[in-house]
A and B are shown apart, each in its own frame.
Chain A
């Protein structure tokens, strides 16, 4: 463990400890926030009793349903777009401004078009995630060394074989950056949509608990979402770092 890592752990523990003290002394009242140890106890109870299992399963399943197609479609779109300079120039402003657009504004329209089921939420998560994959894959493909492409040509590889056998593996670290963003974005999309309007899922349960001042459910769920998203992100980050190191040949 590095010195910075130890400091980090100390800071997080200190922060949680400070909140704990503030809560126990009543500086932060019970309606605003529970003491962190209560959150952990409630979280353990919630998981043991299984009362939220349906909501947790629904949110995570939907996130996976949004995120896997986003990766597949994103990579394939990028590979298909890559050779067409003209098309890419036209789409460039769209990609550049895409994440400035409040995509959640589309959610009401998606509900009207697809009904208030899981479909509009999954589609929203997909829409948020797919563009990150496209942008980052294109970025990676742009950086494939020319010598690799020439080698593929010398070996008479077809365009498909070149794309999947040479270019994508070489662009892998960048694709992985896109994948990492896609995980975060699909979770954001799904949970956000559940918050705005839905009939189930973790986002829905949080907003339901919030409306009922039910902190014993709200805070553990928030904690769980934070742990899941930070955990997944850290794991992918480690993998990304390994790929980058391999690429730079160390």
Chain B
């Protein structure tokens, strides 16, 4: 196990070195007009975090993301459990969910804006619709694939529906549900940021759009780096737990 952890660490470091090297090469070939070097970006990021400007935007994005993720998880899990429990409903709705999953959800953004108006609710809704479907699909399949003997045991013990979900279906389906939540986490983040990019007056997505408009490459590179580091770190941590939970069963 220990050697495995060490190997994983070595691989991550190697990957980081590779990415940084590629970035530096890109910088050398395109020059100052297009992008900044890793060192310059790091320096600017440090400056950004020691200043006042970024904090309200960061808080806004985090708040929108947290609410969106909560909504996506609650709605996604309820849809997933309902469909996982009810074979026929799953037959009816699964193809529809899969079809919804494949559409470019960006096209729906104007409709959401018209429904919710500019600001926080539209952002949250946009983030949530990105996350709901994968969470629902993973949960549905997880519940459906719970071993029959476990469900029969529950039936023999005369468990009610709530009790059944709480003490049998949820624990048994947990690994797959966690995978769904992990995928939902990243998609919700992307959705929230996209929402901020199109129509918002605050948040990191707004700053990003602003930086494009003003051709502020320092800010652009720093923001892109911050977002990628956050997303990658979160997803690596989640992936680690994901594998741990899967290994336990």
Chain B residues with CB below 8 A from A229, complex form? 102-104
Docked complex Cα distance between A192 and B198 (Å): 10
Q: Which single member of A93, A102, A218, A226 contacts B227 (CB below 8 Å)? A: A102
A99 touches B186 (CB 8 A): yes
The answer to whether A104 and B235 touch (CB under 8 A), given A112-B34, A206-B107, is no
Docked complex Cα distance between A91 and B22 (Å): 14
A97 touches B235 (CB 8 A): yes
Smallest beta-carbon distance B17→chain A, Å: 10
Docked complex Cα distance between A3 and B228 (Å): 46
Chain B residues with CB below 8 A from A226, complex form? 103, 107
Chain A residues with CB below 8 A from B197, complex form? 104, 196
B232 touches A100 (CB 8 A): yes
Binds B, one of A68-76, A140-148, A151-159, A230-238: A230-238
B104 touches A112 (CB 8 A): no
Smallest beta-carbon distance A36→chain B, Å: 13
- A207: interface (CB < 8 Å): yes
Chain B residues with CB below 8 A from A178, complex form? none
Smallest beta-carbon distance A108→chain B, Å: 4
Which residues of A are interface residues toward B (Cβ below 8 A)?
Answer: 2-4, 7-8, 11-12, 31-33, 89-94, 96-97, 99-102, 104-106, 108-109, 111-113, 180, 184, 187-188, 191-192, 195-197, 203, 206-207, 209-210, 218, 221-222, 225-226, 229-230, 233-234, 237
28 contacts between A and B (CB under 8 A): A2-B91, A8-B96, A11-B92, A33-B111, A90-B18, A93-B15, A97-B231, A99-B183, A99-B186, A100-B190, A101-B228, A101-B231, A102-B194, A104-B190, A104-B197, A105-B227, A106-B224, A108-B224, A109-B35, A112-B34, A112-B217, A112-B220, A188-B106, A191-B107, A206-B110, A210-B110, A229-B102, A229-B104
Chain B residues with CB below 8 A from A112, complex form? 33-35, 215, 217, 220
Chain B residues with CB below 8 A from A203, complex form? 106-107
A108 touches B231 (CB 8 A): no
B189 touches A102 (CB 8 A): yes
Interface size class of B (residues with CB under 8 A): 35 or more
Chain A residues with CB below 8 A from B104, complex form? 184, 187-188, 191-192, 225, 229
Docked complex Cα distance between A9 and B91 (Å): 13
Chain A residues with CB below 8 A from B220, complex form? 108-109, 112
Chain B residues with CB below 8 A from A109, complex form? 34-35, 220-221, 224
A100 touches B99 (CB 8 A): no
Query: Nearest CB to that of B229 among chain A residues?
Result: A101
Docked complex Cα distance between A180 and B104 (Å): 14
B106 touches A192 (CB 8 A): yes
* Extra A-B contacts (13), CB below 8 Å, given A8-B95, A108-B211, A229-B104: A8-B93, A89-B7, A97-B231, A97-B236, A99-B187, A101-B186, A101-B227, A104-B197, A109-B34, A196-B198, A222-B111, A230-B102, A233-B98
Query: Nearest CB to that of B109 among chain A residues?
Result: A195
Mark each residue of chain B from 181 to 197: 1 if its CB lies under 8 Å from any CB of chain A, else 0: 00101110110011001
B35 touches A113 (CB 8 A): yes
Q: Which single member of B92, B113, B185 contacts A7 (CB below 8 Å)? A: B92
Chain A residues with CB below 8 A from B35, complex form? 109, 112-113
B189 touches A32 (CB 8 A): no
Chain A residues with CB below 8 A from B12, complex form? 93
